[in-house]
Amino acid sequence: MADGGYVASIDVGTTKICTIVARVAASGQLDILGVGLHPSRGLREGVVVDHVDAVESVRQSVRKAEEMAQLPIGGAYVGVTGTHIRSRNVTGRVRVASGDEITSEDVDQAIQSACDNVALPHDREIIHTLVRDFAIDGQGGVKRPLGMHAARLDANVHVVSAAAGALRNVTAAVEEAGVTVQKQVLEPVATSLAVLAEDESDLGVVLMDIGGGTTDLAVFVNGAIAHTGAIPVAGNHITSDIAKLLRIPYGQAEQVKKQFGTALVNMTNDDDAVLVEEIGTQEQVRVPRRLIADIIQARLAEIFQLTIENLQQAGMYDTVTSGVVLTGGGSQLPGTLEMASNIMDNTPVRIGSVRGIGRGANRVASPIYATGVGLALYAAEEGADARPPSPPVYLEWVEKARSWWRSRRIQPRISAYLPGK
Ligand SMILES: Nc1ncnc2c1ncn2[C@@H]1O[C@H](COP(=O)(O)OP(=O)(O)OP(=O)(O)O)[C@@H](O)[C@H]1O
Ligand SMILES: [Mg+2]
């Protein structure tokens, strides 16, 4: 990253848009300069459903982050999620000229040949080709094949594709809000950078980001990504259930969930109750906390069940030896860890806290910031720079000329002909 530069990220979530501006410190950590949080409108399960609302939400979030950082955002790394995402592990192969060292061209060709093995309909685009490992002459587990000698090089690659229309709609909303999309990154891939420890990904770990609209999954085995997925059930479904079953407005249900909700029924007492106001009445009704916990427990259990099914279908459930890391706003209810561990065969479960932050860590401490921080870390790793492009030289020259005129209190002659002069 250029000296004095900084990175920016935009997590286009279902419940909130989160813009982060950060500077990469000499230690390699990020100093958080600005955070802009704004309720998300016009998005559902990671997909834009109302362009005008989405643009306005992004604009507000970006403005807040710029104000806090006192810096303009020209470009940003932007998150992508949704059930339109597909991921596959594929292998590509090249023959290396005999006796020769493996070159970077060989590596590129092997990766390209892996991508060519993915049948891609015209309405889909590849967004990531993440190398898992290489094999030379059939010997797997090679991380850096450059300079090694072999007759055959195989690249094992995790290829992620997305619906082209969904990608374009997010890009259009962000760019209309005045920010160039530098890269679109799969959200769980970004989030993993913010919350996973290296040892965990070596041993095998599942990252579960329980957001508002989707629960995003990423599995890491042997230090490399092995599976990604998105389940269309998350925290907002819990709130909707509470609203429908208690017949209260969605906003009140959200408040009741956060203030009084628990993931497990056995964490409540028989006589604990909450007062709520039913839709259409002005009367306060007593609702046992046990009932609220019951509603939450059923939905959360479904989220963990669907996760198990997703992992089993991908053949990944048994590879996760170091456990599950939870993040996202939907992971915050008391008892969630215990429930996850119970349902997932006593697997160790922990809450992923955000890592890699120097100054300003308190600004992004909640798990709702994990994706935004991960996107900023991704941008920093790739040497991105969020500064707006400098104005063209001739505009600078015009500005200099203007200030020269002003400094001499001379009006350019043209002003004599302007209306009203
Ligand atoms: N303290 C809390 N307790 C329980 N649930 C919470 C809490 N804080 C936030 N949530 C829930 O977390 C969800 C939002 O989480 P998050 O901000 O990670 O989602 P998002 O990134 O906007 O959505 P998505 O990732 O699905 O696009 C909402 O359903 C909200 O009700
Ligand atoms: Mg999210």
Q: Residues 110, 93: contact at Cβ < 8 Å?
A: yes
* CATH ID of 86-162, from 3.90.550.10, 3.90.1530.10, 2.40.50.100, 3.30.1490.110: 3.30.1490.110
Dist. CA 301 → ligand 1 center (Å): 17
Atom of ligand 1 at shortest range from CA of 328:
18
238 alpha carbon, distance to own chain's centre:
21
Q: Give the total residue count for the chain.
A: 421
Dist. CA 299 → ligand 1 center (Å): 14
328 CB near ligand 1 (under 6 Å): yes
Residues 249-293: tens digit of each pLDDT: 999 999 999 999 999 999 998 888 999 888 888 788 999 999 999
* pLDDT score of 415: 41
213 CB near ligand 1 (under 6 Å): yes
Q: Do domains 86-162 and 197-351 have the same CATH topology?
A: no
327 CB near ligand 1 (under 6 Å): no
Strand blocks (E) in 67-164: 75-80, 86-95, 124-136, 139-142, 152-163
Residue 123 in tokens: 């309405």
User: 142 or 399, which is more confident?
Assistant: 142
Bridge partners of residue 218, in order along the sequence = 207, 228
* pLDDT score of 411: 55
Dist. CA 212 → ligand 1 center (Å): 5
CATH superfamily of this structure's domain 197-351: ATPase, nucleotide binding domain (3.30.420.40)
* pLDDT score of 392: 61
33 CB near ligand 1 (under 6 Å): no
Residue 55 in tokens: 């643009």
16 CB near ligand 1 (under 6 Å): yes
200 CB near ligand 1 (under 6 Å): no
User: 30 or 394, which is more confident?
Assistant: 30
Bridge partners of residue 139, in order along the sequence = 136
Residues 177-232: tens digit of each pLDDT: 999 999 999 999 999 999 998 888 888 899 999 999 999 999 999 888 999 988 99
Dist. CA 235 → ligand 1 center (Å): 6
Locate the domains of the chain by residue range: 86-162, 197-351
